[in-house]
A and B are shown apart, each in its own frame.
Chain A
Amino acid sequence: KNEVEQSPQNLTAQEGEFITINCSYSVGISALHWLQQHPGGGIVSLFMLSSGKKKHGRLIATINIQEKHSSLHITASHPRDSAVYICAYISNFGNEKLTFGTGTRLTIIP
């Protein structure tokens, strides 16, 4: 069982729709990252958060530490948002490595 579960694995939506991608984990963490991987493979860090909510443009990330759950939301989705979205955490066990989910493949249809 993966230590990080993302849902859905694949998501296809129409342009303009509100998108939600979920991430659940099972250990205590010190921080959680949301990453975006484009078709060519390049990865961009979107958010790093340890509590509450962060917003950047049309992207919003939330985290509930008690429930061990984070969500990434995209408002007014656009075809250029099509990518794989990956969540990853740093545990608070003293090992600083990132543990990654397998990603959610998002496709936005014009």
Chain B
Amino acid sequence: SQTIHQWPATLVQPVGSPLSLECTVEGTSNPNLYWYRQAAGRGLQLLFYSVGIGQISSEVPQNLSASRPQDRQFILSSKKLLLSDSGFYLCAWSKGFNQPQHFGDGTRLSIL
């Protein structure tokens, strides 16, 4: 069966520090991968999606970036975090567009 792992579960970082959140999927190959953010009191927002290794589409311009170095690995990064980067970050995968998406447990990121 397919599983998705996302870590860490919680993270507290100072403003200006770098960020790396990792997401891995097991039990499937060539999945679509997604990074979402949920700011406090707001709905989910798609940040990045990827349909294959090295292929990243950005939905929202910001100081975050994403990479897909391996088929089932999706990384969200920042060189310098801003206060506005605080939120709940979710990774998800699907077998394709118009297929159900399966979510990780999320990372709660607090910027101080």
Give complex CA distance A98, B44 in Å: 9
Whether the Cβ atoms of A41 and B49 lie closer than 8 Å is no
Q: Does B7 interact with chain A (Cβ within 8 Å)?
A: no
Residue of A nearest to B104 (CB): A42
Q: How many residues of A contact B (CB 8 A)?
A: 23
Q: Contacts of A4 on B, CB cut-off 8 Å?
A: 43
- Which of B12-20, B22-30, B78-86, B94-102 lines the interface with chain A? B94-102
Q: Known contacts A41-B88, A97-B49: does B101 contact A33 (CB below 8 Å)?
A: yes
Kindly state the interface size class of chain B when it binds its partner: 20 to 34
Q: Known contacts A31-B98, A41-B88, A90-B97: does B43 contact A101 (CB below 8 Å)?
A: yes
Q: Known contacts A41-B88, A41-B105, A43-B90: does B43 contact A48 (CB below 8 Å)?
A: no
Chain A interface, >50% SS class: strand
Whether the Cβ atoms of A86 and B43 lie closer than 8 Å is yes
* Residues A1-45 near B (CB distance < 8 A): 2, 4, 30-31, 33, 35, 40-45
Whether the Cβ atoms of A98 and B43 lie closer than 8 Å is no
Q: Does B70 interact with chain A (Cβ within 8 Å)?
A: no
Whether the Cβ atoms of B44 and A45 lie closer than 8 Å is no
User: What 1/0 flags go to A41-84 for Cβ under 8 Å of B?
Assistant: 11111001000000000000000000000000000000000000
Contact sample, A vs B, 19 pairs, CB 8 Å cutoff: A4-B43, A31-B98, A33-B101, A41-B38, A41-B90, A41-B105, A41-B106, A41-B108, A43-B90, A45-B101, A48-B98, A48-B100, A86-B43, A88-B44, A90-B97, A97-B46, A98-B46, A100-B44, A103-B43
Interface set of A (CB-CB < 8 Å, partner B): 2, 4, 30-31, 33, 35, 40-45, 48, 86, 88, 90, 96-98, 100-103
